[in-house]
Amino acid sequence: MSERPKLNVILCAPRGFCAGVDRAIQIVELALQRYGAPVYVRHEIVHNRFVVASLEKRGAIFVEELEEIEVEDRPVIFSAHGVPKEVKSDAVARNFFYLDATCPLVSKVHKEAELHYRRGRDILLIGHKGHPEVVGTMGQLPEGVVTLIETVGDVMRLEPRDENNLAWISQTTLSVDDTRDIVAALKDRFPNIVSPHKDDICYATTNRQEAVKHVAPDCDAMIIVGAPNSSNSQRLREVALRAGCKRANLIQRAAEIDISTYRGIDTIGITAGASAPETLVEEVLEAFSEHFELSLETVRLAEETISFPLPRPLRDSDVSATPAEKALATS
């Protein structure tokens, strides 16, 4: 048997689950534990099919719209991406007991939008059309109040009602560099535009992109573990290519890897989007270890210690309350 070729593997850190994703998954798990199956989840709780499938096996039922739910007395959970206000109103009208798993950093953007609206500003949202987070953010306010900006070209074509009464906010999972260019264009065209007090792009998105930027120039190829509909995972692939790595592949599972295409390279970098569990990274390493003698190195650029509290109905002090009492507690 011939010796396995050597392969240097650089693991980016931080990688994988962020606090918002971890909280959202925990909400579904605790709801199943306390109320039993089934519990309903509107949209994928996070954009990762492995996570969704594992929760389905435990009794979670995923739907796209509330009208698909035929049973009124089961908990309904809103995904980490957030929902328009009309969805919550619909849940109340249907007498659903719901738990909101919206990431607190997304909720922060919602509150910023509402504040700008109360102050009479027209709002520009930097983001990707159709993404659930963008749909949820725009749905916090009346139609027409928020204008979506996807590119610098959109900024150039913008004709606001009052260029001195504008504010911008952003989707939390964007490319830091792309967003910086769009913001620069906005400030150049509209010097009086109001910016967020703190960057809307979340800490986890920023940290994962910075780690990839640092590692990518030293890699012959990079693998990003994540889903194709995961915005933050797609951005990691783009960042790797821009940072100088000639090849960057986004995969969901190790089974998608064509090992033969990695023969002859010296160094590969591996990271994972914020909604991808570490077990999938381990799966990728195991796949490579069957064909290569691996030399592992971890490059860590930041420590992440942030955590977010659970919704009140799921906190330990509320264990004995009924679903109706829990609903009242959150109102």
Active-site residue set:
133
Q: For residues 268 and 222, is the Cβ–Cβ distance under 8 A?
A: yes
Q: For residues 61 and 84, is the Cβ–Cβ distance under 8 A?
A: no
What length is written for the chain?
331
With 0-12 CB in 10 A as exposed, 13-18 as middle and 19+ as buried, what is 44? Answer: buried
What is the C-alpha to C-alpha distance for residues 280 and 224, in angstroms, rounded to an integer?
11
With 0-12 CB in 10 A as exposed, 13-18 as middle and 19+ as buried, what is 320? Answer: exposed
Helix axes 231-242, 203-215, angle to 10 degrees: 30
Residue 326 tokens read as 């829990």
